[in-house]
Amino acid sequence: EVQLLESGGGLVQPGGSLRLSCAASGFTFSNYAMNWVRQVPGRGLEWVSGIGGGGDDTYYADSVKGRFTISRDNSKNTLYLQMNSLRAEDTAVYYCAKDAVPRNSVWDWFDPWGRGTLVAVSS
């Protein structure tokens, strides 16, 4: 069974940093692109960032470009999101999501998603 488990969320002050992790199991992690998607409580979904299976190809939404860095460690089956210069508007539940089709680059729909980790940016 494919499982994705996010961790690392919490309360951080504006301008601060946080690193999220997503531990993956149940599939050959390096064969799949991975993504981060966020959701402000009570609001819709926003794709944040994606990374190819090998880790060389990375993609970002304009809203986080230059502040967030996605990476992965295929030896540990773990996806990361380093978030710097955090703003109040980054407050959300952050989900990791697996591309559904084995491919080196992000391209496909998401299946499955993790349960999410809450990031709250407030003074």
Partner 1 sequence: EIVLTQSPGTLSLSPGERATLSCRASQSISNSYLAWYQQKPGQAPRLLIYGASSRATGIPDRFSGSGSGTDFTLAISRLEPEDFAVYYCQHYGSSPFVYTFGQGTKVESK
Q: Least separation, in Å, of the C-beta of 68 and partner 1?
A: 14
36 binds partner 1 (CB under 8 A): no
Cβ distance to partner 1 smaller for residue 7 or 13: 7
Please give the distance of CA 69 from its chain centroid, rounded to a whole number: 9
CA dihedral 29, 35, 41, 44 (to 10 degrees): -130
35 binds partner 1 (CB under 8 A): yes
107 and 33 in contact (C-beta within 8 Å)?
yes
114 binds partner 1 (CB under 8 A): yes
- If one counts every other C-beta atom within 10 angstroms of the C-beta of residue 85, the result is 13
By CB under 8 A, name the binding residues for partner 1. Answer: 35, 37, 44-47, 50, 59, 61, 95, 100, 105-116
